[in-house]
Amino acid sequence: MNNVAFYQTIFSLPFAYMAAFLAADGNPDIMVMVWITLTIIAARSAAMALDNLVDLKYDKDQPRFKERPMVSGRISHKDVYIFLAICFVVLIGSVLQLDPICIKLLPVAALPFIIYPFTKRVTCLCHYVCGVAIAMAPAGGWVAVRGTIDWTMIVLCIAVALWIGGFDVVYGAQDEEFDKAHGLHSMATVLGVDRALLLAKLTHVACMLVFVYLGLLLGLNAAYYIGVLVAASVLYYQHKIIHVNGFGVFTRDYYMHNGIVSVAIFLFTLVSLYTR
């Protein structure tokens, strides 16, 4: 589990649930939710394991990653391949229990996860590819319930992609010098740290505006906007402490604070659905 940072599932799973509840107008089938859960966990775990495998040659030179299981040798390449195979079986098996369109769209949904580890070698837009990859969670949750691709789903996916993309810009900014030395790309290597952090702030402002638009589109009540306000406050706080304390604040606690965004918006969406 340490090799795939399982706790980071909190970024994607609440939005997959949110999409499912919205698509079902607040009453999704319980077994559909179970299969959505297994699908998201398997896909996200496989994606993280693949990312660590692809980046291993760089991670071995990164002092911050010396305790990672693959870097330290506690997990071998063989272990990762076995884990990926298990994730693949669980993923396919779970998706097959959902609407038939899901298995047809699986290659499209998986593509961002597969290419993301390689994009940092060629483009500074890698952060937003990461955002699109995570946005496949709400897309999957929606399609699993409704069996269609709708504008509402796309708007939710855009909001999630902007949220994660902005966060990844901030995360990547701490490695500006390392990335330059190793020929890797990020917004910080192109724009510099200060401008990259400004771009992340603007990205998160755009993210919150899209969430507001989503609420208007669905006719959600005031409860939903409380959730958006909580999320906006968390993002403001995260940018503030980076500005004040620097990149040393990047810990598991910092990651979990970011997870408040997805949890808050999901929970207050439920309140809105059930108090209409």
pLDDT tens figures, 113-143: 999 999 999 999 999 999 999 999 999 999 9
Residues with pLDDT less than 70, the chain: 1-7, 252
Question: pTM for this structure?
Answer: 0.93
User: What is the pLDDT, as a whole number, of residue 116?
Assistant: 94
Question: Do 3 and 49 contact (CB within 8 A), yes or no?
Answer: yes
**Residue 98 has what DSSP assignment?**
S
Question: Do 188 and 175 contact (CB within 8 A), yes or no?
Answer: yes
Torsion angles phi and psi, residue 29, rounded to 5: -65, 135
What residues contact residue 153 under an 8 Å CB cut-off, 6+ apart?
A: 19, 23, 138, 139, 142, 143, 146
Rounded Cα distance between 119 and 93, Å, is 29
Q: What are the structure tokens assigned to 217, written together?
A: 């589109």
Q: What are the structure tokens assigned to 167, written together?
A: 């966060």
